[in-house]
Amino acid sequence: MKKILIIGTHEPIVKTIARLIEKSGQFIAETAFDIAEAIQACKKHELCLILIGAGINKADEQRLAQFLKAHYPSIPVTRHYGGGSGLLCAEIYQALDILPQT
Amino acid sequence: MFVAYFLTYINSCKQLATYFCHIKTQEEKMAQSIIHKASSRGTADHGWLKSYHTFSFAGYYNPERINFGALRVLNDDFVTGGMGFGEHPHDNMEIISIPLEGDLQHKDSMGNMATIKTGEIQVMSAGTGIYHSEYNPNPEKPVKFLQIWLFPNKRNVTPRYDQQKIDDQTKNELVQILSPNSNDSGVWIYQDAWFSLGNFDAGISKTYKMHKEGNGAYIFLLEGNLEIDGKTIETRDGFGIWDTDKVEIKALNNSKFLLMEVPMQF
């Protein structure tokens, strides 16, 4: 099953997003609470998408973007808004350019 | 003689340049619009909650209907008496609730507890993260409300909450209920957006002027019939218009609507 990494500093929200992603039955969710953890997760897992949640500043976003460009250019990165509620599915489908499973 | 010819030539060049610039300006300013019919909205029916989604939300996904500029969510919700949304998180989103009928009780992780009534507007900047719940406190009476989410112009702000009364009685004028400025009418948010309510008698026409270049306007018709930019919309239809600095709105019969001016690029 494809893996999605969620990065954010608000632990309860990151865990909520992970729970919702796994509930879909289509993806496995991995979590990271800072950019160092995110880079380790990229090395450890074969990721299909990275969702950047709340609390990650621009400098860290750029650091991650540079790392991905150099090592994993095919992994799409998208900003997550809303804290795991109504927008999550659409953000994933849009980023991966797929349609929901029926 | 030569000088006269030369000046005429220069003048012609200027006129040509003005003409082509004018054409370009006209092209750039050619208004574009879209109608989202009420019947084309996504729906969710959980018994206690009936919701119509103008844009992709939860189980409704349509890649053609993701957002209108910074406007990402427009949900037309109906919650039965005594029911509601349990505690759930939000982050990095400007969340606006407008009750249309009934009351909504709000409780959040910042310690706010309030009841929003018809004729009020609530705003929450979710920023770095917030938990909240929303219930219909009246066991016998349903609540109908609009839930509107805008992408913020600043991520990771300190969460905030505000609630205000709005003037929903003034007729035949556009009444501002939201802006980016804390010292302006209505509530304020972290986005260059302005919301106005309209309650027009049949036959009334108004021109809405955009506050900011590059913004578009999305009109959600609560009841009645409007003619906008020469096109007719019906109750619960949405009409988006952009690449223009003004919008002509005419009520074909008594009409109530919400106009949301939002950045198209953000």
CB of B66 within 8 Å of a chain A CB? The answer is yes
Pairing of strands B174-179, B187-188: parallel
Which residue bears the tokens 């919650």? B79
Q: Which two tokens stand for residue B244?
A: 């223009």
Report the pLDDT value the prediction gives residue B94, as an integer from 0 to 100. Answer: 97
Q: Minimal Cα distance from A100: which residue of B? A: B61
Cα gap B72→B195, rounded to integer Å: 15
A chain contacts of residue B156, beta-carbon cutoff 8 Å: 54-57
- ipTM comes to 0.85
For chain B, the first-to-last Cα distance in angstroms comes to 56
Cα gap B13→B236, rounded to integer Å: 51
Q: Quick check: B16 pLDDT over 90? A: no
**Would you say residue B10 lies in a domain?**
no
Could you give the 3-state DSSP secondary structure of residue B257? strand
Alpha helices in chain B (DSSP H): 2-28
Residues, chain A = 102
Could you give the 3-state DSSP secondary structure of residue B140? coil
Select the more confidently predicted residue: A99 or B151. Answer: B151
Nearest to B109 by CA among B163, B164, B160, B162: B160
What CATH number should be reported for the domain holding residue B42? 2.60.120.10
Nearest to B219 by CA among B259, B175, B253: B259
Q: Do B61 and A99 make contact, defined as CB atoms within 8 angstroms? A: yes
Which residues constitute the domain of residue B226? 32-263
Q: How many CB atoms lie within 10 A of CB B184?
A: 13
pLDDT (tens digit, 9 = 90+) per residue, B100-132? 999 999 999 999 999 999 999 999 999 999 999
Mean pLDDT throughout B218-222? 98
Nearest CB neighbour to B89, from listed A83, A93, A94: A83
**Would you say residue B131 lies in a domain?**
yes
**Would you say residue B17 lies in a domain?**
no
Q: Please tell me the number of Cα atoms within 13 Å of B153 on its side-chain side.
A: 14
Say if residues A50 and A75 touch (Cβ distance below 8 Å).
yes
A chain contacts of residue B56, beta-carbon cutoff 8 Å: 87, 90
The enclosing H or E element of B104 equals: strand B103-108
Q: Which two tokens stand for residue B181?
A: 């400025």
Query: For residue B210, how far is the Cα from the chain centroid?
Result: 13
Report the pLDDT value the prediction gives residue B110, as an integer from 0 to 100. Answer: 93
Say if residues B79 and B47 touch (Cβ distance below 8 Å).
no
Nearest CB neighbour to B151, from listed A81, A94, A100: A81
- Of 3.60.9.10, 3.40.710.10, 3.90.550.10, 3.40.50.2300, the CATH number of A2-96 is 3.40.50.2300
Q: Quick check: B27 pLDDT over 60? A: no
Domain ranges of chain A: 2-96
Q: Minimal Cα distance from A10: which residue of B? A: B129
A chain contacts of residue B90, beta-carbon cutoff 8 Å: 82-83, 85
pLDDT (tens digit, 9 = 90+) per residue, A20-72? 999 989 999 999 999 999 999 999 999 999 999 989 999 999 999 999 999 99
Quote the minimal CA–CA distance from B98 to chain A in Å.
18
**Would you say residue B26 lies in a domain?**
no
Mean pLDDT throughout B179-200? 97
A chain contacts of residue B72, beta-carbon cutoff 8 Å: 81, 87
> CB neighbours of A39 closer than 8 A, spacing ≥ 6?
A64, A67
Report the pLDDT value the prediction gives residue B21, as an integer from 0 to 100. Answer: 47
Structurally, how many domains does chain B consist of?
1
Report the pLDDT value the prediction gives residue B17, as an integer from 0 to 100. Answer: 53
Could you give the 3-state DSSP secondary structure of residue B233? strand
Say if residues B135 and B115 touch (Cβ distance below 8 Å).
no
Report the pLDDT value the prediction gives residue B24, as an integer from 0 to 100. Answer: 47
Residues, chain B = 266
Rounded to 5 degrees, φ, ψ at A99 are: -110, 155
Q: Quick check: B259 pLDDT over 90? A: yes
